[in-house]
Chains A and B, each alone.
Chain A
Amino acid sequence: GENVEQHPSTLSVQEGDSAVIKCTYSDSASNYFPWYKQELGKGPQLIIDIRSNVGEKKDQRIAVTLNKTAKHFSLHITETQPEDSAVYFCAAGGFQKLVFGTGTRLLVSP
């Protein structure tokens, strides 16, 4: 089955810096790669996703890149703001199930 590894587990940046979170996956059949943001006491919310026929996708300050050959994908947040502080999860899969990474706690200091 699919296995997803996520790094780093914690990431501290200064406001305005960029943040990068990386994930690797094991199943070459996976074709859907979403990223979720989870704020304290809430459920995960989708922030961006990418499918296997696309190498990069951007939405304002957030971008995701996918390298299918190496089986890894990354989340890039530019010009970070304190409200970006949260736990971020990557996931891989498609069809019926998603497998999630273990999460990255991002702390953006003013």
Chain B
Amino acid sequence: NAGVTQTPKFRVLKTGQSMTLLCAQDMNHEYMYWYRQDPGMGLRLIHYSVGEGTTAKGEVPDGYNVSRLKKQNFLLGLESAAPSQTSVYFCASSYARGETQYFGPGTRLLVL
């Protein structure tokens, strides 16, 4: 089992560019999550999904979109990147509500 994997590991964007971060899990988990991690602010939930074809907003959803077309994949999109979106992005998954969340290794994004 690879667990939770994220692609890419690191990316540099210019302001206004778009990109998609890919998260994949091979644990057959229903729930998937996207967080961002900034210094001194812990992990903040961007969007999450409670099953294939569903998405919901988290704490800081503005500027991001997500899709869950397949159960094992959760995509995070930035349509027009801004310097404020410079962060480390983590994907996580869990079997059910209230259960342990397993995290991927993260994607470091720098927006110039």
Contacts and interface: CB of A to CB of B under 8 A. Distances in A.
Chain A, interface SS category = strand
Given A34-B100, A97-B58, A103-B42, A42 B50 contact: no
Contact of A96 (B40, B43, B50, B92): B50
A96 B90 contact: no
Interface in A13-70: 31-32, 34, 36, 41-46, 49
Nearest to A36: B103
Classify chain A: how many residues form its interface, as a range: 20 to 34
Contact of B41 (A42, A43, A44, A102): A102
Contacts of A99: 45, 59
Contacts of A95: 97-98
A36 B4 CA distance: 16
A75 to B, nearest CB: 15
A32 B103 CA distance: 17
Contacts of B50: 96
A43 B103 contact: yes
B34 interface: no
A49 B42 CA distance: 18
A96 B57 CA distance: 11
Interface of A: 6, 9, 31-32, 34, 36, 41-46, 49, 89, 93-103
